[in-house]
Amino acid sequence: MLSFFKKNKQEKPVKQGTDSTISSKELLNETGNEAAAEEVETALSLHPATNITAEQQYVLRFLNNELPPLLPNQISLAGIELQQDGGSVTVAAFVRSSLSKAVEFKKTHLLLVGPDEEILARKEFDLTEIGEIPAKSSRPWNFTFNSSDLLTDSIPAEGWKLAFEIRNNEEHRLDLDEAWENSLSSSDKEKLKKMVEQMDPPKVGEINFMGIQAKVADNEDLQVTLLIRNGNDQNVMLQQLPLQVEDATSEVIAKGGFQLDKFELKANTSKPWTFIFPKSLLLKENPDLSSWKAYPLQQQVQTEI
């Protein structure tokens, strides 16, 4: 626990990160009976399995005492220190509760947020490992974001914060472009709606693509229909989408880039769209479309939130 947290004895300990706070009602559906204006100091609480030196414990106690008080019914993450190791980032933070009763956490998505509120990393953590946090207490903990969780290569050493990501309870749903809404039959719309409802929603913050139909038209163009799925809680604009298509033999049969004009994916929705590869872009005659897959070349996808 906090094995990298070392300070020179002559230095005054200083937190590298900032704090984020959320209502305990919103996060845990828990509240207490304290007066709304009452300030709450949180006492240091180490996990029973914590094994640190007396010096490290002194530093943690000092930093915890420097934290601002919370208001009643708040949960806070107070950033202590951040360390990069290869492709991963480990963050030490105080998990604080101003509730007048012990609290336990479940699996929760956390964000690493930069000084300008940009999201640097996102990951689901099993916070049951933190254990029960006593009433009005503050527990230090390590959170490791793997390389696959990072959304940027540039991680600042200071000014960052750890924050809870709260997803609304809105179900993932179908969103049809106006042209599709006007051209599809009621039965086709219902089929698409049921398809979206029966699928597992995409992961938090994820945009993925699912193939619906691929066929060669009479003019020998390849028509590929995909379901584009947005797992963000915000609308996303797709600006450029390079696609590659493989047939049943796993051969690449088409490759091309698509410039999209005002193509908006609404929050927590899936939108079907057909991409047409002209005959000139086809790389194989008579492709076997008994099974197929289409996928974007991720490094070249341009989006805007």
Rounded CA-CA distance 21/174 in Å is: 33
Closest CA to 93 of 5, 31, 33, 184: 5
**Predicted pLDDT at 168:** 59
**Predicted pLDDT at 33:** 62
What torsion, rounded to 10 degrees, do the Cα atoms 140, 146, 151, 155 define? 60
Summarised one tens digit per residue, pLDDT across range 145-197 is 999 999 998 999 999 999 998 765 568 899 999 999 999 999 999 999 999 99
Token digits for 152? 């940027």
- DSSP 8-state assignment for residue 141: E
Domains of the chain from N-terminus onward: 19-164 (2.60.40), 173-304 (2.60.40)
Q: Are 117 and 18 in contact (CB under 8 A)?
A: no
Summarised one tens digit per residue, pLDDT across range 201-259 is 888 778 999 999 999 999 999 999 999 999 887 889 998 899 999 999 999 999 999 99
Contacts of 87 (CB under 8 A, 6+ apart): 146, 147, 150
Summarised one tens digit per residue, pLDDT across range 73-97 is 999 999 999 999 888 999 999 999 9
Closest CA to 236 of 213, 257, 258, 260: 260
